[in-house]
Amino acid sequence: MVTPLSWLERVPTYKEAFENVKDKDLHTYGFLGYPCLQTADIVIYSEQAVPLFVPVGEDQVSHVELSREIVRSFNGHFCLVVSEALWDGAAADDYRALQEIFGTAPGLRDESFATNVQRFFKLRAREMGIENFLEKTGKYSKHFSRPSALSEPGVMLTKTPRIPGLDGRKMSKSYGNAITLSESDDDIRKKTKVMVTDPARKRRSDPGNPDVCPVYDWHKLFSTPDTLQWAAEGCRTAGIGCIECKAKMADHLITWIAPVRERRLQYEKHPARVLEVIDDGSQRARRVAQQTIGRVREAVFGWEKKRTEIRNSTTEIHDTHD
C-alpha cells in the first residue's frame, strides 16, 4: 500500500543483479521486496523525535534513500490526521486557503467529500514528507496532527565513503580482496604489496593521480595527515614510487590494526563475554523495537482510540445499570 512496485524495480542493485546473475532465479518476492525488509530493519530501531542516521558506504546510499521514501509514504498515509472541520464546513475559509497552498483536491467518483479531502492532504504529505507538509501548512497547521510517526532515515557517510578492495573493485569478502582483522602483519604486507594503483602510472618516473588510486584511499583511512600529504605530493610529482607508497600505507595500517586485533583476541578468549554483549544489545534493541511497533499499530489500527471508546461505552452501560 505504501510502496509502489516501481520503486522496488528501480533499485540499482536489483537491476544490476538481474544483468549479472544468470545462474539463479531472481524472480522471487524475497529478492524484489528486500528493500522493504531492510527499511523495517532500519526504522524499527528509531526513537520518536530523535534523528535517525544509518552509517553506510556510498553504494548503499540509494537503499537508504528508498527507505526514506517508504517511511515518508507510510507517515503520509497512516500518521496524518486531518481535522473534520475541513470537510464539514466549519472551517470552509481555511480549507479554501489550504487549496491555494496545495492545489485543488480532485473529486473521485463514488467517494464522499470527506474521503476526498483526507486522501488529498495525505497524498501531498506523502509526496513532500510529513515534516515539510506540516511546515507548509503554516497557520493552518491546527487542522492537522500526527499522533505517531516513524523517523525518516538519513545516511551517515564518513570522509572515505567508498573503500576499494585490494584489486580496486568494491571490497568484499567473497571477492577475496579484503584484509581481515585476524591477519598477521606479514600477510598484510604481502597483500598490500600487490594492490592495484593508478593504472595510468606505468613507470616510476610517471607522475600519478592519487585521487584514482585505491592505495591512496587506504592512506586516507589509516595514515597521519603528514603521510597523506607526502603520498599525494610524491605521487603527483613522481617523487615517490608506488612500492614505497604502499609500504608506508601498510606501516600505518598495521599500527592502526594492532589494538583492534588485540581486542578481538580478548573476545576470542572469552566467548561468554561476547554472549553478554550480544544479549545486552538485543535487550536494549528490543525495548526500542517494541515501542516502534506500538506506534505503528497505533497509526495503522488506532487501538488507543478504540480502547477509549470501549472503556467509555462500558462505563456508560455500568452507569445505566446503577
Kindly list the residues in this chain that would bind ligand SF4 in the complex (CB under 6 A).
Answer: 197-198, 201, 208, 210, 213, 215-216, 231, 235, 240, 242, 245-246
Q: Which is nearer to ligand SF4, 91 or 245 (CB)?
A: 245
C-alpha cell at 12: 540499482
Nearest approach, Cβ of residue 178 and ligand SF4 (Å): 18
Tell me which residue has cell 585505491.
214
Pairing label, strands 81-82, 52-55: unpaired
* Angstrom distance (rounded) from CA 41 to CA 150: 12
Q: Which is nearer to ligand SF4, 68 or 246 (CB)?
A: 246
Q: Which is nearer to ligand SF4, 82 or 245 (CB)?
A: 245
144 pairs with which residues across the strands? 82
* Angstrom distance (rounded) from CA 11 to CA 67: 11
> SS3 of 151, please?
coil
* Angstrom distance (rounded) from CA 41 to CA 76: 20
Chain centroid, CA 112 distance in Å: 38
Q: Which is nearer to ligand SF4, 144 or 216 (CB)?
A: 216
* Angstrom distance (rounded) from CA 290 to CA 316: 33
Q: Which is nearer to ligand SF4, 108 or 247 (CB)?
A: 247
Rounded to 5°, angle at Cα 49 from 47 and 51 = 75
Nearest approach, Cβ of residue 220 and ligand SF4 (Å): 10
Q: Which is nearer to ligand SF4, 64 or 242 (CB)?
A: 242
Q: Which is nearer to ligand SF4, 35 or 234 (CB)?
A: 234
Nearest approach, Cβ of residue 99 and ligand SF4 (Å): 60
Name the nearest CA neighbour of 246 among 205, 225, 220, 216: 216
Nearest approach, Cβ of residue 13 and ligand SF4 (Å): 29
- The residue type of 262 is E
Nearest approach, Cβ of residue 223 and ligand SF4 (Å): 11
Nearest approach, Cβ of residue 159 and ligand SF4 (Å): 17
Nearest approach, Cβ of residue 235 and ligand SF4 (Å): 3
| Number of residues in the chain | 322
C-alpha cell at 162: 567508498
